[in-house]
Copies of this chain bind each other. A is one copy, B any other.
Amino acid sequence: MRTYLDCYPCFLRQALDGARHAGADNEGQQRVVSHVLGLLKRAEPSRTPPEIGDEVHRMVRRICGNGDPYRGAKDASTRQALALFPQLKVLVQEALDPLDVALRLSIAGNIIDLGPDHQYDLWGVIERVLSQSFALDDRAALRQALDQADEVLYLADNAGETVFDRILIEALDVPVTYAVKGGPVLNDATLADARAAGLDGAATLADTGSDAPGTILHRCSSAFRALYDQAELIVAKGQANYETLSEAGPKAFLLLQTKCPVIARDAGVPEGSIVVKQG
């Protein structure tokens, strides 16, 4: 997905949020805003939002001298989600259709995203997503692909959301490789976040080799690209994967909530929708 003009104010707001998460004082925040204004003026809008967002957040980390501004927020999200884990497991165990409930929970967890300008009530979102209609619904094709696949490559999104992914992965009958980011960006999950969420007991862990949001293939390691190319079935979580993998073939399924008006419009669905979309 290309970058829309509406993304520019959002990048600037994200940069300011990032500087604050990094603990920058007012002068530091001002330096970040000034540099990001210059970066955005030079940015090539034919690139995807995560490619520009990668540069924005890299600049925030460099200027603030903080390699992982969202560390505290990520830990808090993981703790909050883990506290719900037993209840989530019961929801799946007691469901008439456990896989459907687990899939919905994994999408519910996608609300834990510190990129968009939104606040959320996590349990309220879980209740909504459990009964919400899918705005794009390739669940039947996904179930068929899961029945046929010998393994799944699962592309993670955010820390805390990881716990909800674990719920889905534990409901699958097929081995999963769970790929996180190669380094910190925004509140995206890294190996440490995946382990903290207990994913190491549910899947084989891997990373993209890149600290860019989403999955920008030419920025990923050759080891990850081999995983990606050889995968029979890819489950990709979240908006940034939608933005970077929207041209992926039919072996990829994008699972997300549309949390910003730009992505909602690009996908042709209302903001606040839940989506399972085959590539």
A30: B residues at CB distance < 8 A:
5, 45
Residues of chain B within 8 A (CB-CB) of A9 are 9-10, 12-13, 16
- Contact across chains for B16 and A12 when beta carbons are under 8 A apart: no
Cα distance, A26 to B45, chains bound together (Å): 12
Q: Is A29 an interface residue (CB 8 A)?
A: yes
A249 to chain B, nearest CB (A): 29
A33 touches B13 (CB 8 A): no
Counting chain B CB atoms within 10 Å of each CB, the highest count among A6, A9, A30 belongs to A9
Which of A6, A12, A30 has the most chain B CB atoms inside 10 A of its CB?
A12
Tell me, in angstroms, the Cα distance from A49 to B149 when the chains sit together: 57
- A26–B8 alpha-carbon span in the complex (Å): 14
When distances are taken between beta carbons in the complex, the residues of chain B under 8 Å from A13 are: 6, 9
Taken residue by residue from 207 to 232, chain A's Cβ proximity to chain B (1 for < 8 Å, 0 otherwise) reads as 00000000000000000000000000
Q: Give A13-54 interface residues, CB cut-off 8 Å to B.
A: 13, 16, 26, 29-30, 33-34, 37-38, 40-41, 45
**Min CB–CB distance A237 → chain B (angstroms):** 26
A9, B10: Cα distance in complex, Å = 7
Q: Looking across the interface, which residue of chain B has its beta carbon closest to that of A6?
A: B16
Cβ contact of A29, chosen from B5, B12, B26, cutoff 8 A: B5
Q: Chain B's nearest CB lies how many Å from the CB of A31? A: 11
Name 10 A/B residue pairs within 8 A (Cβ), A-sorted: A5-B16, A5-B29, A5-B30, A5-B33, A6-B16, A8-B37, A9-B9, A9-B10, A12-B12, A34-B41
Interface residues in chain A, defined as those with a beta carbon under 8 Å from any beta carbon in chain B: 5-6, 8-10, 12-13, 16, 26, 29-30, 33-34, 37-38, 40-41, 45
